[in-house]
Structure 1
């Protein structure tokens, strides 16, 4: 965090925006946290101007919100947001899977198989962080295989908000085991080039995540209630 922002052929505020975005997605900037502009500007050796321009970019993306007289904070998704978002993503990612299964080359399917094997390794190790990252790579690759710029545009836009939840549902006991089983059905559909089955499997996989998230919420609420009881 103390390193200067590398330009790498882009504008300074774009580089700052990329760093801030990564911090939000990686959980370094937590939901609801206010962003210390002065500290970041000093750590990254930039002026406040590109930092503020970068924050405007993230605000336009919906990742942060400007609070009058207080600064800028990372957005918090409510339970209602999750309940509304998952079914939409299930439809979009289901369509991505359908088009990907219809269009993927043999080499691309081999790459997808390698991504699935990474999921298998993380599931076997019960490595939630590694599984989450591998899962994101798998889903993003399927999205790219669909090769539909309009589908890609809307899916990418909403995937940003999915990433804010950082796979919280994976903390539910038994969820990684269930998730990898769902992925086994999905990768088999891809290998068989069964587009309709791939679409159903992907849709059901996303909806299973929402079910797991709701169960986790309920468990956490019961636990919190128990701690408050005398």
Structure 2
């Protein structure tokens, strides 16, 4: 199997099945790549000018994203990217841990030589980025690995639930990797997960994936506490 190079995401064309679908796809990617930040107001006029489209398909796209929960339509003010708080993370990650754990367990029953090779490939990408300390590269390879496990499960209902919620996890864009030592801990968790998947050990794979997601929540909480301490120290240098 030829190795698959990990390339930066390419902005999707605005000319798809329908213009507003293409616009919605591009806006999602901008949010996931944090070109549009959580809480940021979306400048419809500027985007319409830059993309050389009317504001009608842009507004239709924003309605789609609002229905998905990714943006908030504010009367008389416009539209802004949703901002997830600590409470959202504490509720979201246990659900994702349950769903992605189930994906990993079901994926073990679908293993063949091709899927094993693909899993190994993306794990090697993770190892390479972890060794280089490349947080963005690690984040992207991690997304590909998790998406592959979801596909390998072969359960369209599970894929639908997991995919819908993964959008919100992607808004955080691997923020937990900012915690010192987190990337090395994460690659260790992935080694355990890969071993379970390759061994077709469903129970072990489900547990490993569940624990991996919950470890991300723990890291997010630790990062939040660290940032709060740093903010306090700056505000009270003589404390």
TM-score normalized with structure 1 length: 0.97
Q: Is the 8 A contact 1:4 1:44 kept in 2?
A: no
Paired position in structure 2 for 1:215: 222
The alignment status of 1:13 with 2:20, answered yes or no, reads: yes
> Within 5 A, what are the aligned runs for 1:24-43?
24-43=31-50
Counterparts of 1:137 and 1:18 in 2: how far apart (Å)? 18
The alignment status of 1:71 with 2:78, answered yes or no, reads: yes
Counterparts of 2:14 and 2:31 in 1: how far apart (Å)? 19
Paired position in structure 2 for 1:176: 183
The Cα of 1:194 is off from its aligned counterpart by 0.6
Unaligned runs of 5+ in 2: 1-10
The Cα of 1:5 is off from its aligned counterpart by 5.0
Helix, strand or coil: the match of 2:84?
A: coil
The Cα of 1:108 is off from its aligned counterpart by 0.6
The alignment status of 1:94 with 2:101, answered yes or no, reads: yes
Helix, strand or coil: the match of 2:61?
A: helix
Distance 1:46 1:218, change over 3 A: same
The Cα of 1:191 is off from its aligned counterpart by 1.2
The alignment status of 1:83 with 2:90, answered yes or no, reads: yes
Helix, strand or coil: the match of 2:39?
A: coil
Counterparts of 2:216 and 2:47 in 1: how far apart (Å)? 35
Counterparts of 2:14 and 2:217 in 1: how far apart (Å)? 38
Paired position in structure 2 for 1:54: 61
Unaligned runs of 5+ in 1: none
The Cα of 1:200 is off from its aligned counterpart by 0.4
Counterparts of 1:151 and 1:86 in 2: how far apart (Å)? 16
Counterparts of 1:42 and 1:4 in 2: how far apart (Å)? 17
The Cα of 1:109 is off from its aligned counterpart by 1.0
Q: Is the 8 A contact 2:32 2:170 kept in 1?
A: yes
The Cα of 1:4 is off from its aligned counterpart by 11
Paired position in structure 1 for 2:124: 117
The Cα of 1:6 is off from its aligned counterpart by 3.6
Helix, strand or coil: the match of 1:33?
A: coil
The alignment status of 1:229 with 2:239, answered yes or no, reads: no
Paired position in structure 2 for 1:138: 145
Counterparts of 1:157 and 1:227 in 2: how far apart (Å)? 39
Counterparts of 1:146 and 1:192 in 2: how far apart (Å)? 15
Deviations 1:129-148 (A, max 9, x none): 00000000000000000000
The Cα of 1:104 is off from its aligned counterpart by 1.9
Paired position in structure 1 for 2:194: 187
Large movers: runs of 4+ above 2 Å: 3-6
Aligned residues: 227
